């Protein structure tokens, strides 16, 4: 399973959130971006993703998860 996670952070927490995401095994990449979201992460896993673990990272205020439909 692959998903794109669009993340809004609390002020001045982009670097900390990006660093924390990169520590998770299922995160393929995490990058700070300009635009309506602060970070976009790519999640890749064979199992059901643990989105709650991602949302629990300090500094994340909102997430939108877009799962791919490719098989």
Q: Domain for residue 15, yes or no?
A: yes
pLDDT of residue 34: 96
Structural domains counted in the chain: 1
Euclidean distance between CA atoms 7 and 47, whole angstroms: 22
DSSP 24-48: STTEEEEEE-SSS-SEEEEEE-SS-
Q: Calculate mean pLDDT across residues 34-49.
A: 93
Q: Domain for residue 68, yes or no?
A: no
Q: Domain for residue 8, yes or no?
A: yes
Residue 65 confidence (pLDDT) above 90:
yes
Q: Domain for residue 71, yes or no?
A: no
pLDDT of residue 71: 62
CATH number for the domain spanning 43: value is 3.30.70.920
How many CB atoms are closer than 10 A to CB 33? 12
pLDDT of residue 50: 87
Euclidean distance between CA atoms 48 and 62, whole angstroms: 20
Q: Domain for residue 69, yes or no?
A: no
Q: Which residue segment(s) compose the domain that 33 sits in?
A: 2-61
Q: Calculate mean pLDDT across residues 23-39.
A: 97
pLDDT of residue 70: 78
Q: Domain for residue 30, yes or no?
A: yes
């Amino acid at each position: 399973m692959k998903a794109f996670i669009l993340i809004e952070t609390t002020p001045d927490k982009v670097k900390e959130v990006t660093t924390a995401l990169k520590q998770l095994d299922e995160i393929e990449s995490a990058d700070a971006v300009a635009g309506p979201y602060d970070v976009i992460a790519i999640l890749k896993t064979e199992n059901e993703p643990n989105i709650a673990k991602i949302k629990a990272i300090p500094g994340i205020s909102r997430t939108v998860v877009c799962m791919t439909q490719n098989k």
